[in-house]
Amino acid sequence: MFWSRLRMSYSEDMGRLIELTHKLVNTLKNYPVVCFSTHRDADPDAIASLLGVKFITESVSSTIKSGVLIPEGLNRIAAKIVKNLRLEEDLATSVNSCDLIVCVDASSKSQVPALDVATSRNYVIIDHHETNELSEKALVSIHFKDAGSTSELVALMMEILSLKPEARLATLLITGILYDTKNLRLAKPSTFRALYYLMSLCSECFEEAFNMMITTTEIDRSEKIAILKGISRAGLYELNRDFILAVTCVGAYEASVLKTLIDSGADVAIAISPRSSETRIYVRASRRIINTLRIPVASDLITYMAEELRGSGGGHEGAAGLSLNYEIDVNEVIKLVRRFFTKLNVRVNVLEEGRWADKCS
């Protein structure tokens, strides 16, 4: 029964993806200038998806002029991969204006500054996050929250359209899949279908992508310092005496700091990052607390805080982020965390206050 339900669900998703892919192609042909954008500090999945859908667009129409918009550039790992694959020129295309924006791997308007939703700018989305606040107003919404990565969605769209990306792009898409599925630990059925298609085009691409992921994830000195600072400032809290919550304040490398806290034993880790007239909040959750509470902890917590703080955010069950266009009293964060878990009948008790609040103030 389980396997039959799984096959049915997968078949339904593929059928919907086929329909939406052809709808996207028909939509693209109506706009002379199409721009491709993704979230801030773009990771390998974001960049692979962006270049993948750019390839699709240029393949289905030779008359469309394309441009690339990447707010705040690429993260360290993505930058190294793009350089290794000599794809810098593919990201260098720019235009003066856009008739349509294709947003990939982005779930909220704060992640895509180029997209001014308030002015009703035409856009489409391709995404796999748990929730997506951009979906409702999109001309085409290719949003599959059960996919392991946005890169695999783009690869499957290529298969649907019988498009064959060159080896460098196929390798990039595989790195995007590996990055967001944590080297396939979070893989879904669609993940392996996409990998099968890409590897059928380039048998050696998986090995190259895997080796690049190993070499590019080595931590440099500045990241090590940020991680150590984040750990030293962390406050510790217990959740029903069953789980551990860690809260810290950092100015950079938030994802690496949170990963280290989770790997060190925290079940929920929160990083607050104050910027000039802006505050960003990031959450990670362990598989253990997600399975025990049976909710997408990170995305639900971020969604709750976004509603309470009038912010914009989204993400996955295990990783999510929020952006506020003002400086927040950081004590409000822990108050909201307490309220969120109280609604779940989970008590929050202090184990160690830490220095995070002082550093964030």
Model pLDDT for residues 286-334, shown as the tens digit of each residue: 999 999 999 999 999 999 999 999 888 888 889 999 888 888 888 899 9
Question: Nearest CA to 142 among 150, 298, 45?
Answer: 150
Q: What is the mean pLDDT of the chain?
A: 90
Please tell me the predicted confidence (pLDDT) of residue 44.
96
Please tell me the predicted confidence (pLDDT) of residue 359.
82
Span 196-201, mean pLDDT? Answer: 97
Question: Nearest CA to 20 among 171, 121, 141?
Answer: 141
pLDDT at residue 156 above 60? yes
Please tell me the predicted confidence (pLDDT) of residue 114.
62
Span 127-155, mean pLDDT? Answer: 91
Please tell me the predicted confidence (pLDDT) of residue 8.
44
Model pLDDT for residues 266-286, shown as the tens digit of each residue: 999 999 998 878 899 999 999
Q: Which residue has the higher pLDDT, 148 or 135?
A: 148
Q: Which residue has the higher pLDDT, 143 or 325?
A: 143
* Poorest-pLDDT segment among 7-16, 138-147, 193-202: 7-16
**Taking the model in full, what pTM does it have?**
0.77
Max Cα distance, the chain (Å): 62
Q: Which two tokens stand for residue 344?
A: 């779940």
Span 209-234, mean pLDDT? Answer: 89
Model pLDDT for residues 238-269, shown as the tens digit of each residue: 999 899 999 999 988 898 999 999 999 999 99
Please tell me the predicted confidence (pLDDT) of residue 3.
37
CA-based end-to-end distance of the chain: 54
Please tell me the predicted confidence (pLDDT) of residue 6.
42
Q: Which residue has the higher pLDDT, 47 or 215?
A: 47
Residue 137 Cα distances to 12, 31, 126, 234, angstroms: 23, 17, 13, 39
Cβ 273 vs Cβ 282: under 8 Å: yes
The alpha carbon torsion through 79, 85, 89, 91 (nearest 10 deg) reads -50
Return the residue matching tokens 């392996």. Answer: 192
Model pLDDT for residues 81-139, shown as the tens digit of each residue: 999 999 999 998 777 888 999 999 988 776 776 665 444 479 999 999 877 878 888 99
The 33-37 sheet, strands edge to edge: 65-69, 33-37, 100-104, 123-127, 140-143
**Domains delineated in the chain:** 2-216 (3.90.1640.10), 222-360 (3.10.310.40)
Q: Reduce the DSSP state of residue 74 to 3 states and report it.
A: strand
Please tell me the predicted confidence (pLDDT) of residue 73.
86
pLDDT at residue 228 above 70? yes
